[in-house]
Structure 1
Amino acid sequence: MNYTLNQLNIFYKIAQNQSITKAAEELHLTQPAVSIQLKNFQDQFSIPLTEVVGRKLYVTDFGKEIAAAAEQIIHQVQAINYKTHAFEGNIAGRLTISTVSTAKYVMPYFLTDFMDANPGVDLVMDVTNKAKVIRSLEQNAIDFAMVSVLPDHLKINRVELMQNKLFLVGGTSRSRPKSYSAARILREEPLILREQGSATRNAMETFLASKDIQNSKKLELTSNEALKQALVAGLGYSIMPLIGLKNELGNKDLEIIPMRGLPIITHWNLIWQKSKKLSPTAQAFLDYIEAQKNEIIRDRFDWFEKYN
């Protein structure tokens, strides 16, 4: 047998995703390239690693055993790389972060310079909704989480990063009578909400309840990008974070509709469990954040402070 580390990694990703297409996307390769490597890898075994049933790929029991072995080998290689960097006096290791979906517009700016300065660090960042972020934190599956609403059932440490502002927003392409107040818009125009478990949805529903506003015309979308495009298309209105709207507001595709009680202001927080023993890599990142956060906010988010 003469399989390569690259083939092991490709097969491991195929087994993880149960899909050649998804594995190719993760690896930033073309689907034909992944298929060729899978065939070359398979040719070295007399027992099938995968099978296709009804156009769907399945990993065989033998394939699962090989995938598990491949995972161990890949982790050992990573450990060797980390140790090499460590002996050279560099920060090296795995940094795992889970963020709520709207934080994807914020978190990368707090990572860029740290990652550039520490090439031995491997970053894994999961972008999902609040419920899944907190679950990852509870299960000790991550180093840090980034949220705007703190979990009240966990003992956590935190670093407050920057404000999160939520405004009433609509698309400029949607026509409405000029006499409509913001409250009337929320009562009579279609409202677009995020899915259950989203902190943005919770904030919007809490605000509507505080104003005793009810509306039966509701649409639900499961991503911030989808919601934003729905607003641009004129499907309705929503209360959503300013942070992801820079280009659409600048292009005048969206507009902020003033209303008393808005914006809702919370703060983005980098959080971790108090009981967690941070790895040297995670501690180095935390030290970097505490030292550089004010400069990052000033340099990268000056536009954000103009909206109040």
Structure 2
Amino acid sequence: MYYTLHQLQIFLKISELQSITKASEELHLTQPAVSIQLKNFQEQFPIPLTEVVGRQLFITDFGKEIAQAAERIINQIEEINYKTMAYQGNLSGRLKLSVVSTGKYVMPYFLSDFITENKGVDLIMDVTNKLKVIRSLELNEVDFALVSVLPEKLNVNKVELMPNKLFYVSNYDRQLPKTVSKKYLFEKIPLIYREPGSATRNAMEAFIQKNNFSVNKTIELTSNEAVKQAVISGLGCSIMPLIGNKNALKNKELKIIPTKELPITTTWNLIWLKSKNLSPVAVAFLDFLKERKEGIIKKKFGWIDDFLNI
């Protein structure tokens, strides 16, 4: 057998995604190139690795075992590379993070220079909802998690990164009465929610409950970007984080409706389990944040001040 590391990497990605098309997209290869490599890899085994039922690709039981072996091989090779770089005096290893969906507008700016300056560090960042973020932290699958609401049942350390402010927003062209009450905004206009488990949704529901509003018409969407586009289109209004809406506000697609008791302010926290034995890479990242955090906030998020006096 003469399969290559490249073939192992391609087959592992196909087995994870169960799709040649999706694997080619993630690997930045053409679909024909991935198909050819899969065919060449399969020819070295007398037992099928995959099967197609209907139009869906499935991994056979034998293929799953080969994928597990491939993952072990790839991890061992990466470990060799990390050890080599460490002996050369370079920081090396993986940095794993799980980030709530709105955090995708925040976390990359605190990572960019660290990853650029440390070529031996590989970044793995999963962007998902709050429930899955906390779950990945609880299972010790990641080094850090980015959340705006601290988990109640986990014993964690934290670094406060920056404030997270949530405003009531509508599309720019929506006509409202000259004097508009909170009751009107929440009871007369359709409200667009994030999915259950979202910290943004929890904050919005807590605000509505506190004010005893009776919401009549709601729309539920599963990402902050989807909510933003729905609000821009005029489907309704929502309470949304300011972060992520910079361009829509400046381009006059969205507008903030001044509302008593808003914005809701939380804090973006980078958290990790107190019981976790942090890797040298994770420790180095915390040191980086301690030294550079304020400069990053000033340089990358100074625009936020323009909206805080609304």
Q: Scaled by the length of structure 1, what TM-score is found?
A: 0.98
CA distances 1:114-143 after superposition (whole Å, capped 9, x unpaired): 000011111100001111100111111100
In the alignment, what sits opposite 1:27? 27
Partner of 1:72: 72
Gapped runs of 5+ residues in structure 1?
none
Q: Per the alignment, in what secondary structure is the counterpart of residue 173 of structure 2?
A: coil
1:274 maps to which residue?
Answer: 274
Deviation of 1:25 (Å): 2.0
C-alpha displacement of 1:183: 3.1
Please say if 1:107 is aligned against 2:113: no
In the TM superposition, 1:268-307 aligns within 5 A as 268-307=268-307
Q: 1 CA distance for matches of 2:227 and 2:138?
A: 29
Match for residue 153 of structure 2? 153
Tell me which moved more, 26-35 or 173-182: 173-182
Alpha-carbon distance in structure 1 between the residues aligned to 2:280 and 2:251: 43
Residue of structure 1 in register with 2:37 after alignment: 37
**Alignment check: 8 A CA contact 1:24 1:30 kept:** yes
Q: Could you list the structure 1 runs, at least 4 aligned residues long, displaced by more than 6 angstroms after superposition.
A: none
Q: Which residue of 2 aligns with 1:250?
A: 250
Aligned to 1:264: 264
Aligned residues: 308
- Whether the 8 Å contact between 1:174 and 1:236 is mirrored in structure 2 is no
- The residue that corresponds to 2:59 in the other structure is 59
Aligned to 1:225: 225
Q: How does 1:114-153 map to 2 (within 5 A)?
A: 114-153=114-153
CA shift, 1:306, in A, is 2.1
Work out the percentage of aligned pairs sharing the same amino acid: 64
Q: Please, which moves more after superposition, 176-185 or 193-202?
A: 176-185
| Structure 1 residue 178: Cα displacement | 4.2
Q: Which amino acid aligns with 1:291?
A: E
What secondary structure sits across from 1:301 in the alignment? helix
Secondary structure of 1:306's match?
helix
Once the 2 structures are TM-superposed, how far is the Cα of residue 29 of structure 1 from its aligned partner? 1.8
Match of 1:192 in 2: 192
C-alpha deviation, 1:172, in angstroms:
1.4
> Which secondary structure does the structure 2 equivalent of 1:65 belong to?
helix
How far the C-alpha of 1:175 sits from its partner, in A, is 3.8
Can you give the 5+ residue segments of structure 2 that lack an aligned partner in the other structure?
Answer: none
Give the superposition deviation at 1:177: 4.3
Task: Summarize deviations over 1:170-193 as a string: whole Å, max 9, x none.
Answer: 111334444543430211110000
Is the CA contact (8 Å cut-off) linking 1:170 and 1:232 kept in structure 2? Answer: yes
Q: Is the 8 A contact 1:182 1:257 kept in 2?
A: no
Q: Which residue of structure 2 lines up, in the alignment, with residue 167 of structure 1?
A: 167
Q: What is the CA–CA distance in structure 1 between the aligned matches of 2:248 and 2:8, rounded to whole Å?
A: 43
